[in-house]
Amino acid sequence: MDIKNINTIAFYNIRLLLREKLLWFYTLGMYIVILFAQLSNQSILGRYSFCVADFSSSVPFMNTFFFLIFQTLPLVILSCHFLSKKRYVDSMETVYYRPESNEEYVCGVFIAFISVFGGAAVLSLLMIMVMHLLFMPFPLGGIYYLFYLFLMVMPALVFMLGLSFFVITWLKNRVLSMILLLGFLVSTIFYISDYQFGLFDPLGLSLPSAFSRITGHSDMLGYLLQRGAWFFLGLGFVGLTILKFDRIPNRPCSRCKWIMAFFFLIMGVACGSSFFFLRQDEFRERLNYRSIYEKYSSYPKAYLESQDIDYEQREDEMFVNTKLVVRNCTGVELDKVLLYLNPSLEVTSLFINGTTSLYEREKQVIGVPARLSPGDSLLLELSYKGQIDERICYLNVPDAEIADTRERMYLACRLGKRYSYLRKDFTLLIPEVLWYPTTVPPENPGSPYDNSRDFTRYSLRVRNYGKNKVISQGMRMKKGDQLVFRNESPLPGLTLNIGDYVTRQLIVDSVTYELHVWRKHASLLKLLNDRLLPSSVQEGTSARSIIRGARHVAEISAGNKYPYKRFQLVETPLDFTSYFRNEMKCSGFVQPEVLYFPERGFGTKIFSSEVEVAVHLLLFREEVWRNTFSWNKILGWNMLWRKYRLEDVECSKNPHLIYAQFNNQISGIVSQTYPFLNSLMNLIIEDNNQTRIEARPALTPIWEQQAIDYLRSRSLKDALHDNSLDVAVLDAIFVLKERELVDILQTQGVDQDKLVFFLMDFFNKYRFKMVDFEQLNEEFKAVFQVDWNMILPSWYMNNKIPTYLLKIAEILRVKTENSKDYRCRIEFAVFNDSDVDGVVNFRTSTYLPGGWPEMQRAHKEKRRESIVKYHAFKIEAGTGKRFAFEVNEFLDFMINTNIAGNLPNSFLCRATGVFASDTTQYMEEVSRDYFLSDTNEFIVDNTDPGCKITQPSTLLKLVKNEHLKSPKSWIRFINFKEENAIFPTSQWKEYIDQNCQGTTIRSFVFTRGKSGDYRLTWEADLPKEGVYEAFVYIPSYSLNMMQKYKISPLGGEEKVVYVDTRGEWCSLGVYNCLPGVNKISLSDEGEENQIIVGDAIKWVYQGKAME
Residue 75 CB-density burial (10 A; 0-12 exposed, 13-18 middle, 19+ buried): buried
CB contact at 8 A, 161 and 75: yes
- pLDDT bin (cut points 50, 70, 90) of residue 306 is very high
DSSP letter for each residue of 118-169: HHHHHHHHHHHHHHHHHH--S---HHHHHHHIIIIIHHHHHHHHHHHHHHHH
What's the pLDDT tens digit per position in 493-535? 999 999 999 999 999 989 999 999 999 888 777 767 765 654 4
What's the pLDDT tens digit per position in 629-688? 655 555 554 433 333 333 344 678 889 999 899 988 888 899 888 989 999 999 999 888
CATH number belonging to the domain at 298-425+438-490, selected among 2.60.40.1730, 3.40.50.10480, 3.40.50.300, 3.40.30.10: 2.60.40.1730
Of 735, 728, 727, which is closest to residue 395 (Cα–Cα)? 727
Residues in the chain: 1107
Compute the C-alpha angle 718/724/727, nearest 5°: 85
What's the pLDDT tens digit per position in 938-967? 999 988 989 988 766 543 333 333 444 444
Residue 522: predicted pLDDT: 83
Residue 1097: predicted pLDDT: 94
| Crossing angle of helices 543-558 and 611-619, rounded to 10° | 30
Contacts of 252 (CB under 8 A, 6+ apart): none
- Cα 854 to its chain centre, rounded Å, is 35
Does the pLDDT of residue 1038 top 70, yes or no?
no
- pLDDT bin (cut points 50, 70, 90) of residue 924 is very high
CA distance 352 to 369: 9
Q: Report DSSP state, residue 979.
A: S
Does the pLDDT of residue 253 top 60, yes or no?
no
Q: Are strands 317-327 and 303-314 parallel, antiparallel or unpaired?
A: antiparallel
Q: How many CB atoms within 10 Å of residue 135?
A: 15
Q: Is the dihedral of CA 581, 585, 590, 593 positive or negative?
A: negative
CATH superfamily of 937-1103: Galactose-binding domain-like (2.60.120.260)
Q: Report DSSP state, residue 250.
A: P
- More confident position, 254 or 118: 118
Beta-bridged to residue 372, according to DSSP, are 334
Q: So where are the chain's domains?
A: 3-277, 298-425+438-490, 500-652, 667-797, 804-927, 937-1103
Residue 778: predicted pLDDT: 95
Longest dimension (CA), the chain: 113
Q: How many CB atoms within 10 Å of residue 221?
A: 11
CA distance 826 to 843: 11
The pTM (predicted TM-score) of the whole model is: 0.86
- pLDDT bin (cut points 50, 70, 90) of residue 98 is low
Backbone φ, ψ for residue 634 (5° rounding): -60, -45
What's the pLDDT tens digit per position in 386-417? 999 999 999 999 998 899 888 888 888 899 99
Residue 960: predicted pLDDT: 35
Q: Which long-range contacts (CB under 8 A, 24 or more apart) does 725-733 make?
A: 726/398, 727/396, 727/397, 727/398, 727/448, 728/700, 728/703, 729/703, 730/448, 730/449, 731/582, 731/703, 732/699, 732/700, 732/703, 732/704, 732/706, 732/707, 733/707
Q: Is the dihedral of CA 1047, 1052, 1055, 1057 positive or negative?
A: negative
CB contact at 8 A, 709 and 732: no
Kind plus residue range of the DSSP H or E element containing 868:
strand 867-875
Q: End-to-end distance of the chain based on CA atoms, in angstroms?
A: 108
Q: What is the 3-state secondary structure (H, E, C) of 251-281?
A: CCCCHHHHHHHHHHHHHHHHHHHHHHHHHHH
Which residue blocks in 714-787 are alpha helix, DSSP H? Answer: 716-720, 727-747, 752-765, 773-784
- The CATH architecture that domain 500-652 belongs to is 2-Layer Sandwich (3.30)
CA distance 666 to 398: 28
Does the pLDDT of residue 577 top 90, yes or no?
yes
Q: Is the backbone of residue 72 left (phi > 0), alpha (psi -120 to 50) or beta?
A: alpha
Domain 298-425+438-490 shares a fold with domain 804-927: yes
Residue 1099: predicted pLDDT: 94
CB contact at 8 A, 793 and 803: no
What's the pLDDT tens digit per position in 776-823? 999 999 999 999 999 999 999 999 999 999 999 888 888 887 777 788
Residue 203: predicted pLDDT: 93
Say which CATH topology domain 804-927 has.
Immunoglobulin-like (2.60.40)
Residue 288 CB-density burial (10 A; 0-12 exposed, 13-18 middle, 19+ buried): middle
